[in-house]
Amino acid sequence: MHSILRRYPLPTLFIAVFCAVSGVYAYGLGPGQQRLVVANTATNLANLRNDPLGTMIASAFVAEAAPWMWVAFAIVGLFPVAHRFGNVRTLVLVGAAQVVGTLISEGLLAWRISTGAMPTSARYLDDVGPSYVIASALVATILYGAEPLMRTARHGHWLFDRVPSRWWRIGAAVGLAFLAPHLFNRLDRLDVAAVGHVVAMLVGAGVGLFFVHRERAHAGSGGAGPRTDVAPAPAFSEA
């Protein structure tokens, strides 16, 4: 466990904080308090105007339902991406997905309110959960796998040595297929969450592609070597 935390602090801490918040939310708060938490952390227009950064961070750790399902999908999404690109780049990828997905979906909602297509009460819609983060990570895992182009030193670990890269991709694809009805629900009506999910997934694919091109350019110039944003650690088995 210590080696996983040292090598993969981003996914480990994300999951740990999410579990802690979900546990308190589900078992430590009453219905009224839960409602208050959702109202204060939802990435709606009202909250984004008052505290955009805090709202986008806090909302990713609040799940109104099925938190353990999100934990499972976070494992098959975040760990492979962190192994593929490193922790710092993974933070950039999922952070960009959360920010851009929120801004575009809420920006579209603000425009629709201004044209009268949506009521002004839509400024207070509830929109919480880690879905933007996890959807972008699942897409990045499916497209780019788990095996880094510039490999770190190999130190055996049962979790990573025994699971080939292709199985992480398959797991991410199964997870994304399972989530698809939720992610794209009412997309034809420009639902805020559905639009945000599409944008977050496109951002995950685009940022991941940028990182892959950077890695290949660096390797082609003779600069291949261990990444500096992570400690030497276990590698996934090759597909």
Residue 54: both structure tokens together: 């805090």
Three-state SS at 237:
strand
Task: Give the count of alpha carbons within 13 A of 213, CB side only.
Answer: 6
Let me know: does 128 contact 41? Beta carbons within 8 Å.
Answer: yes
- This prediction has a pTM of 0.87
Let me know: does 77 contact 172? Beta carbons within 8 Å.
Answer: yes
Radius of gyration for the chain, computed over Cα atoms and rounded to the nearest angstrom: 19
Please tell me the distance from the alpha carbon of residue 69 to that of residue 206, in angstroms, as a whole number.
26
Summarised one tens digit per residue, pLDDT across range 118-144 is 999 999 999 999 999 999 999 999 999
Give the CA dihedral 168, 169, 175, 179, nearest 10 degrees: 150
Cβ neighbours of 102 (radius 10 Å): 24
- Our measurement of the distance from residue 143's CA atom to the centroid of its chain's CA atoms, rounded to an integer in Å, reads 15
Please tell me the distance from the alpha carbon of residue 170 to that of residue 160, in angstroms, as a whole number.
15
Q: Please report which confidence band the pLDDT of residue 175 belongs to, taking 50, 70 and 90 as the band edges.
A: very high
- Please give the residue that has the higher pLDDT: either 224 or 199: 199
- How many residues in total does the chain contain? 239
Let me know: does 92 contact 207? Beta carbons within 8 Å.
Answer: yes
Residue 227 burial (C-beta neighbours within 10 Å; 0-12, 13-18, 19+): middle
- Please give the residue that has the higher pLDDT: either 65 or 154: 65
Please tell me the distance from the alpha carbon of residue 222 to that of residue 172, in angstroms, as a whole number.
32
Phi, psi (deg, nearest 5) at residue 164: -60, 155
Task: Give 164's strand partners.
Answer: 237
Residue 158: both structure tokens together: 């049962």
pLDDT for the residue numbered 159: 55
Please tell me the distance from the alpha carbon of residue 91 to that of residue 97, in angstroms, as a whole number.
10
Please tell me the distance from the alpha carbon of residue 89 to that of residue 161, in angstroms, as a whole number.
23
pLDDT for the residue numbered 146: 77
Q: Among 3-12, 72-81, 146-155, 161-170, name the most confident range.
A: 72-81
* Number of helices followed by number of strands (H, E) in the chain: 11, 0
Three-state SS at 161:
helix
Helix 131-144 with 67-85: angle, nearest 10 deg:
40
